Amino acid sequence: MSVALDATRAPSVVVRPLETEDLPSLLCWEADLEVRRWMGNRFGSIADVTGWFLDVKRSLNRTAFAIEVDGAVIGEIELDNIDWRGKSAEIRICIGDPVFRGRGFGTRALLTLMDIMKRSGKLKRLYLRVDAENRRAISCYLRCGFKKIGLLRRSRFVPSDLLLMAVDV
C-alpha cells in the first residue's frame, strides 16, 4: 500500500498509537522479503496480527505506534520490555512500505518518538538489538544518537551476530 508524494515539499511524519485499522498493513508488509529478513515472520493471518495487537493493548510493558507519512501508514514502532521504574524500554522499528525505505522516514519517526519520550519524562533510555548486517538500520540508529554497547555473537540460539545499541533520551 503506497502513497504518492508531492516532490515540491517535505512530507510530514507522524507517530501515533497503532489502531485496529492499521493491522492489514502490518500483515501486508510481512509478504516483503526484506521485512521478513530483518523482523522475522510474525503474522500468518489477520487473526495472528489481531491477537498480537490485543496482547499489546492489554500489556503494561508494551506499546505500539504507527508511522504515517501524509496520512498513509508506512511503518510501525514498538516499545517492549518497558521498565517503568528504570525508565527504559527496548525499541523496534519497521518501515514496511518499501517505497519509503532509505529516505530518512525511519530516522524522522524515531527522533519524533524520542522527543515524545523526553518531553513526557516517562522513559529515559531506549535500547535495541539489530542484526549486525543490517547497515541501513544501524545508520538510522547512529543518526538518532544510539551508541554501540555490545555484540551478541551468533550461536545455536542466535542465528546471526546482534549489535546491542542504546541511547539516553
pLDDT tens for each residue of 29-48? 887 777 777 777 777 788 98
pLDDT at 9: 59
> Is 3 inside a domain boundary?
no
* Contact in structure between 1 and 25 (CB atoms under 8 Å): yes
Alpha helices in 90-169 (DSSP H): 105-120, 135-143
> Is 155 inside a domain boundary?
yes
pLDDT tens-digit map of 104-160: 999 999 999 999 999 999 999 999 999 999 999 999 999 999 999 999 888 777 678
Domains held by the chain: number: 1
Going by C-alpha positions, the residue among 111, 104, 108 that lies closest to residue 167 is 111
Domain extent at residue 33? 13-168
> Is 97 inside a domain boundary?
yes
> Is 86 inside a domain boundary?
yes
168 has which bridge partners?
Answer: 125
> Is 92 inside a domain boundary?
yes
> Is 149 inside a domain boundary?
yes
CATH number at residue 145: 3.40.630.30
Helix%, strand%, coil% for the chain, nearest 5: 35, 30, 35
* Contact in structure between 70 and 3 (CB atoms under 8 Å): yes
| Rounded (10°) angle between helices 135-143 and 105-120 | 40
What is the pTM (predicted TM-score) of this model? 0.86
> Is 21 inside a domain boundary?
yes
Torsions phi, psi for 49 (to 5 deg): -70, -35
pLDDT tens-digit map of 82-107: 999 999 999 999 999 899 999 999 99
> Is 1 inside a domain boundary?
no
